[in-house]
Structure 1
């Protein structure tokens, strides 16, 4: 792997260097805050893992490791960016305690002559929320410097930035990330979708493709775009609040629709279940993902699947989260099987292009509601299509 500009690495004296990210490299992990309705039973120790965020993160992680899946890779996210803004004097919370205490990672035996896998218990630095301003830039610079002094091989530098960095300070962000000796985990913050525009989606791709050992956490299908363009691993939230971070003291906008968000594979978007039911009652085909197939079996449904229009009530949230994970897990498995990085990128582009092409079909019978299914600008960017002019969603 090439050395980032402006950084000199001393040659390693270890004949069997350990890859600290070996357990998660190439994987998309489930990202959870509240585990009550999270599809943790679908997590595979061999193919995925879990990132635990929020006030109960340590407790939830320990419980999961001890009671459910001891071999599953996990990442502990202290989520300090939810509570505090970073300053140059205090980029971290409890910076004097780096690395954070947590579930200890397995250590290789000194007598072993074979290379050992990286630890399965990784954790993020307690980085505070990085505003897109001069103080935020200085805080990130200080965070990189302080984190580089840590000796824990399981530590990852959390970089929770306001999404404006992707358009206003892209080059600065890349330059500062190049200085980090540690792996980096990018977490995007905004009151709405952090990558909801073409320019932000483009900026994010530029950052990911320019930096080594970088992850994108707490996101949606942007995780897939990041993975095919060089991210070492990523995570997708099971709920909307786990799919992006809001600035401290603010709350994301919430509408009156309380039905769960459903990942609708044909359009490659999360759409409220009630909205799918309202507009696609006749057109929607049953979903046969592993979660919906299990639901059909449990409910003795002859078709063997579940209609995506059936997630109407908050009580359906658990099933919706399981469906969502099954859909994106299968999508990533399809992409990961491609024989080359170029093939993976092209497969992903074709999936997105197909979704863009279907938007007109989905609103053909309800032209007055065209906005419901019109492909958003970021999806058109992933598909490699030109951006439409004078459209509401740009």
Structure 2
């Protein structure tokens, strides 16, 4: 935590300067780790400094950014995520301070992030509900008028904006924002399972915008890899479940915890490319040895179930999740051509689909693991993606 001396030093610091296209250059071809500040004591050693970075996500991110910056050399950002609780309107698309004597506009909010040590500033965008074109266009107008080169604009929208009629408008709005755009899809559980064509339509939007400017997929899971295989410039994958998907502002998450159960961490099973709750893994492997996990956190030991609901156990589960997929980045991003990258990703997904049956056979539990519809779509030879 900052002391008073640090606070004063930050307040007195001049406005940071940026080189041309700084935001686009820093984000390009990275998949960043998104994490709640309470699980972070330092930038994890397993975060790839070349291909990744750390984003602190929630309203408490600010003081953690200032504390981490002096001891961290990797890419560090803060996303205060007002879109988790606040809905955008045409008159108020951003979360800005009220009743302040001096400052309080968008530039001031962004400057404060930079003074705390964030490498780029992230706009405090509110959540755009389904069909609210006025709010969406209000975000676009403000972004288009902002004369900066060090800002990332989250665009948190209901996943139904990917439906056929609305996705054209969504793409048109993104095309008119002259800053990197982090597209966030809102929906209960996995938004890409909300309707059948969602994965394909997301690919179509990203492919259409590939040459228009830097666009990424934010607050997501392994869909971040699929996005970079189909035209996205960057992505942000959540270490834990609450930052891998966005529950629409004003809604409660549809999870077992609502019925009074423990808030178990979700665990990435490497070969299967699926996330399973800790209690589910504990049950599946109760009488069998879990497969060896090659991630840098587990070091070829049997995959732990991370069975527990404390912050310490969740932090360990999140470290495993992050170490698993960040290990894939050099091979994946080493394929500069999208055609080669798509093939790499499709083959990995197909191996994961096949591995489900192999693991069920080994366990003698035919229904232990089932590939998700989204994973199976990723494993298929994709049809042409068109808006």
When normalised by structure 2's length, the TM-score is 0.81
Match of 1:194 in 2: 191
Select 1:60's aligned residue among 59, 64, 71. Answer: 64
CA 1:261–1:209 in structure 2 vs 1: closer, same or farther (change >3 Å)? Answer: same
Select 1:51's aligned residue among 28, 52, 55. Answer: 55
Select 2:129's aligned residue among 128, 131, 137. Answer: 131
User: Alpha-carbon deviation of 1:366?
Assistant: 7.3
Select 2:38's aligned residue among 35, 38, 57. Answer: 35
**Mind listing any 5+ residue stretches in structure 2 that lack a counterpart?**
1-18, 98-103, 383-387
Contact 2:20–2:149 (CA under 8 A) maintained in structure 1: no
Are 2:308 and 1:313 aligned? Answer: yes
| 3-state SS, counterpart of residue 94 of structure 1 | coil
Match of 1:381 in 2: 377
CA 1:198–1:65 in structure 2 vs 1: closer, same or farther (change >3 Å)? Answer: farther
Are 2:114 and 1:104 aligned? Answer: yes
User: Alpha-carbon deviation of 1:198?
Assistant: 4.1
CA 1:191–1:158 in structure 2 vs 1: closer, same or farther (change >3 Å)? Answer: same
Q: Distance in 2 between matches of 1:229 and 1:257?
A: 37
Select 1:329's aligned residue among 297, 308, 326. Answer: 326
| 3-state SS, counterpart of residue 152 of structure 2 | strand
Contact 1:23–1:120 (CA under 8 A) maintained in structure 2: no
Contact 1:190–1:247 (CA under 8 A) maintained in structure 2: yes
User: Alpha-carbon deviation of 1:308?
Assistant: 1.6
Q: Distance in 1 between matches of 2:87 and 2:303?
A: 39
| 3-state SS, counterpart of residue 323 of structure 2 | helix
Q: Distance in 1 between matches of 2:163 and 2:378?
A: 17
Q: Distance in 2 between matches of 1:179 and 1:103?
A: 25
CA 1:318–1:93 in structure 2 vs 1: closer, same or farther (change >3 Å)? Answer: closer
Contact 2:60–2:80 (CA under 8 A) maintained in structure 1: no
Contact 1:166–1:204 (CA under 8 A) maintained in structure 2: yes
Contact 1:130–1:140 (CA under 8 A) maintained in structure 2: yes
Aligned residues: 343
Contact 1:37–1:321 (CA under 8 A) maintained in structure 2: no
Match of 2:24 in 1: 21
Match of 1:87 in 2: 89
Contact 2:83–2:125 (CA under 8 A) maintained in structure 1: yes
Match of 1:338 in 2: 335
Q: Distance in 1 between matches of 2:170 and 2:41?
A: 33
Q: Distance in 2 between matches of 1:227 and 1:21?
A: 15
CA 1:63–1:45 in structure 2 vs 1: closer, same or farther (change >3 Å)? Answer: farther
Q: How does 1:283-298 map to 2 (within 5 A)?
A: 284-293=290-299
CA 1:28–1:105 in structure 2 vs 1: closer, same or farther (change >3 Å)? Answer: farther
Aligned alpha-carbon RMSD (Å): 2.6
User: Alpha-carbon deviation of 1:364?
Assistant: 3.5
**Mind listing any 5+ residue stretches in structure 1 that lack a counterpart?**
1-15, 107-118, 294-304, 387-394
CA 1:227–1:105 in structure 2 vs 1: closer, same or farther (change >3 Å)? Answer: farther
| 3-state SS, counterpart of residue 219 of structure 2 | strand
CA 1:257–1:352 in structure 2 vs 1: closer, same or farther (change >3 Å)? Answer: farther
Match of 1:112 in 2: none
Q: Distance in 2 between matches of 1:228 and 1:326?
A: 20
| 3-state SS, counterpart of residue 159 of structure 1 | strand
| 3-state SS, counterpart of residue 138 of structure 2 | helix
